[in-house]
A and B are shown apart, each in its own frame.
Chain A
Amino acid sequence: MSSDALRLSGVSKAYGRVRALENMSFNVAEGRFFVLFGPSSVGKTTTLRTIAGLVPPDQGRVEIFGKDWTHEPIKGRGVSMVFQSFALYPHLSVFENFAYPLREEGIVSEEIKRRVMETATMLKLAHKVDRKPGTLSGGEQQRVALGRSLVRRPKILLLDEPLTNLDAKLRHDMRAELKRLHRQFGLTIVYATPDELEALSMGEEIAVMRDGAVVQRGTPDELYENPADTYVAGKIGAPHMNMIAAKVSKDGKSIDTPLGKFSGKQNLKTASGEKALMGIRPSDIELAGNSKSAIKSRVHLLEPLGDVTVVSVESGGETLRLVLPESKAQGLKPGDHTGITFDTNKIHIFRASSGQAIA
């Protein structure tokens, strides 16, 4: 697999007694937009810092384009990084911020000027190159941080929650901007984020992290369709997957829930008689009026979100959420009785003991 831009194998790192990374392994193909997704303090930043060489790992290997860089110095990796705090050089102008990495590479000043202005123009900062970072808006500072990383044409770009410090509108614009830059340069990007929307909308491949290790990796669709366990199921998809306590029948052919007996596409033989959880996505549940096959339920709460409405219903003692197009939710009131239904092929079944999905 020589086409891997980056490969981490068995990387562990502890800060004192706090274990930041535990046997972390993943590889990123060249040119891929790779997202590390997980809540804060899960080890995303430590992973990026290990790749950049700022943090020496206690164990494991870091390979960049096939070369072992684990204990090599930072310089020469061809890796650049955008920090969550932007980390601009506050005493230098925008021009000098851009020029800094080029000067460190010993590039001649005409070439520096050309490349800085080219990058500044691309990021619409050409008219602000004489300003100090402190006088720029948040979005502009973000673009300076990005520009400083791009100007030296890195082989791998690391982005550590780069949009966290921006307001909602800017965040949306920057998501599109980053995708465009990725396409334009064909860069390998490793992007850390706790934001599910960012992960799903930008990542070509996502690694879901938990306690310093990768729990599951795949395309956004794979993670959405086939979450490996309840953790991933709970993290990917909004509103979150409905989880219903259940039990696999003795014969292993169906699953008993307070809503009824269901059998999906899973092979439940290995879990017969075990306690389990049945998961169903809110968008996979539909209203079924009063048809006989429908599951009886009562409307509990309505949350209109513009074009869709999140409806909470109670059925068999469980609360379920479903996402309905606004047109279908019209006329529903809390307290209404209504039937719901779902395609049993869409259900997910997890072992109650380990949380692992049953395929």
Chain B
Amino acid sequence: MANSTSILEWLGFRKASGVTEAGWGHTLLVGIVSFIYFLPVLFIIFTAIKPQDLALSVPPTISPTSLFGLIPDQYVFTPTLENFGSVFSRVMTPGGSPEATGFDRFFFFFIFISSVSVLLALVIGTFAAYGFSRYPLKGNDTYLFIILTTRMLPAIVIVIPVILMFRVTGLSGSYLGITLLYTAFNLAFTIWMMKSFFDELSTDVEDAARIDGSSEAKVFLKICLPQVVAGLAATFVFGLILTWNEFLFALLLSNADTRTVPVAMNQAVSSGGRGTDWTLLASIETLFLIPVFLVTFFLQNHLLRGVTFGTVKR
């Protein structure tokens, strides 16, 4: 067995044996799959830096460089940053002068709204999750189920009562309203995620802290919370992505001044009556990707790390 070389091994696929470096075959395969996944993102970024008239050209231009003559000239475009400029300021009416589009404000407020609502949900949700995990109520599962219903039902079912509630309370069209709504949405998801992380912790460790003289508050803050840092990071990122991509509620509950970026994006490309401006859309999307990309990038170690580090023998 050990001496025979299978075709797969010959192709560079090393047999899995604990933590070893993968063979080049595996690496290549993963590389190809990753590239396929990345292709739509790459397409958006390239479209964002294309001259406007080449957006829908046939044959399509696919690369900003000829890759040392590898790609024929007809498929190569000259990159430009002009589109990014027109995200923030462009000619809105034919023959007019460039006007500010308000996108700087939309981006700023949307980043603010998303961060606040996700963080708020994380704080409240973590307390709630700890409670559900460590001090179960009678009918614990029922409460957890009810909390989840807001995320389980199709959004379109919930949207009408929410609109009515917002109208009555006067929250409609305000940033406060959107922030509260997103906090509520994130709470459900945060409580479920964090509860599963707390459930994974060994209660022996908490009892050890109690015997060492810790109060219940200290057990939570000094023992439990530091052990679920990876969970907090993961929940934060997933919550942020969910919030960042929300469109329906924002469309119905915001007004012209309080648009979220997804709504503003929609308005920007469909207004003006000249059809869809694809390079503009791609530029907004590219900018739209950056915040979530950065957060995910900086928290990726936490996302990948195991939760309990294997200190408790089970």
Using a CB–CB cutoff of 8 Å, the interface residues on chain A facing chain B are 49, 52-54, 74-75, 79-81, 83-92, 100-101, 104-105, 132-134, 138, 141, 148, 152, 165
Interface size class of B (residues with CB under 8 A): 20 to 34
Q: Is the CB of B212 within 8 A of A90?
A: no
Shortest distance in angstroms between B21's beta carbon and chain A's nearest beta carbon?
A: 21
Q: Is the CB of B226 within 8 A of A52?
A: no
Q: Is the CB of A85 within 8 A of B227?
A: no
Question: Known: A83-B207, A100-B212, A101-B213. Is A90-B308 also a contact (CB below 8 A)?
Answer: yes
B226, closest chain A residue (CB): A91
A-contact 0/1 string along B201-230, CB 8 Å cutoff? 010110111111110001000010011010
- The A/B interface has a contact count, at CB < 8 Å, of 76
Q: Is the CB of B208 within 8 A of A90?
A: no
| CB<8 Å pairs between A and B, sample of 29 | A53-B211, A54-B207, A74-B211, A74-B213, A75-B213, A79-B211, A80-B212, A81-B211, A83-B208, A86-B311, A87-B204, A87-B207, A87-B208, A88-B205, A88-B311, A89-B205, A89-B208, A89-B209, A90-B205, A90-B309, A90-B311, A90-B312, A92-B226, A100-B212, A101-B212, A101-B213, A104-B218, A133-B309, A152-B212
Q: Is residue B274 contacting chain A, with contact meaning CB distance below 8 A?
A: no
In the A-B complex, list the 9 residue pairs whose CB atoms are closest, starting with the nearest.
A104-B213, A101-B212, A87-B204, A90-B311, A134-B309, A91-B226, A87-B208, A133-B311, A165-B313
Q: In whole angstroms, how far apart are the Cα atoms of A74 and B207 in the complex?
A: 10
Residue from A75, A80, A90 whose CB has the most chain B CB atoms within 10 Å: A90
Q: In whole angstroms, how far apart are the Cα atoms of A52 and B90 in the complex?
A: 72
Q: In whole angstroms, how far apart are the Cα atoms of A89 and B205 in the complex?
A: 6
- For chain B, residues 289 to 314, give those with C-beta under 8 angstroms from any C-beta of chain A: 308-314
B contact residues around A87 at 8 Å (CB): 202, 204-205, 207-208, 312
A165, closest chain B residue (CB): B313
- For chain B, residues 220 to 276, give those with C-beta under 8 angstroms from any C-beta of chain A: 223, 226-227, 229
Q: In whole angstroms, how far apart are the Cα atoms of A54 and B227 in the complex?
A: 22
A contact residues around B223 at 8 Å (CB): 89
B contact residues around A88 at 8 Å (CB): 205, 208, 311-312
Q: Is the CB of B312 within 8 A of A86?
A: yes
Q: In whole angstroms, how far apart are the Cα atoms of A92 and B226 in the complex?
A: 9
Q: Is the CB of A90 within 8 A of B207?
A: no
Residue from B210, B223, B227, B310 whose CB has the most chain A CB atoms within 10 Å: B210
Q: In whole angstroms, how far apart are the Cα atoms of A79 and B207 in the complex?
A: 13
Shortest distance in angstroms between B107's beta carbon and chain A's nearest beta carbon?
A: 36
A132, closest chain B residue (CB): B309
Q: In whole angstroms, how far apart are the Cα atoms of A92 and B204 in the complex?
A: 16
A75, closest chain B residue (CB): B213
Q: In whole angstroms, how far apart are the Cα atoms of A148 and B314 in the complex?
A: 20
A contact residues around B313 at 8 Å (CB): 85-86, 138, 165
Q: In whole angstroms, how far apart are the Cα atoms of A104 and B208 in the complex?
A: 12
B contact residues around A86 at 8 Å (CB): 311-313
Residue from A74, A75, A91, A105 whose CB has the most chain B CB atoms within 10 Å: A91
A79, closest chain B residue (CB): B211
Question: Known: A87-B202, A87-B205, A90-B227. Is A80-B211 also a contact (CB below 8 A)?
Answer: yes
Q: In whole angstroms, how far apart are the Cα atoms of A134 and B207 in the complex?
A: 19
A138, closest chain B residue (CB): B313
A92, closest chain B residue (CB): B226
Q: Is the CB of B214 within 8 A of A104?
A: yes
Q: In whole angstroms, how far apart are the Cα atoms of A89 and B312 in the complex?
A: 9
B207, closest chain A residue (CB): A54
Q: Is the CB of A104 within 8 A of B212?
A: yes
B contact residues around A74 at 8 Å (CB): 210-211, 213
Q: Is the CB of A134 within 8 A of B311?
A: yes
Shortest distance in angstroms between A206's beta carbon and chain B's nearest beta carbon?
A: 24
Q: Is the CB of B204 within 8 A of A85?
A: yes
A158, closest chain B residue (CB): B211
B307, closest chain A residue (CB): A90
B contact residues around A79 at 8 Å (CB): 211
Q: In whole angstroms, how far apart are the Cα atoms of A85 and B205 in the complex?
A: 9
Q: In whole angstroms, how far apart are the Cα atoms of A84 and B314 in the complex?
A: 10
Question: Known: A85-B314, A91-B226. Is A54-B308 also a contact (CB below 8 A)?
Answer: no
Shortest distance in angstroms between A56's beta carbon and chain B's nearest beta carbon?
A: 13
Q: In whole angstroms, how far apart are the Cα atoms of A54 and B211 in the complex?
A: 8
Q: Is the CB of A148 within 8 A of B204?
A: no
B contact residues around A148 at 8 Å (CB): 208, 212
B310, closest chain A residue (CB): A134
B contact residues around A49 at 8 Å (CB): 207
Q: In whole angstroms, how far apart are the Cα atoms of A91 and B201 in the complex?
A: 12
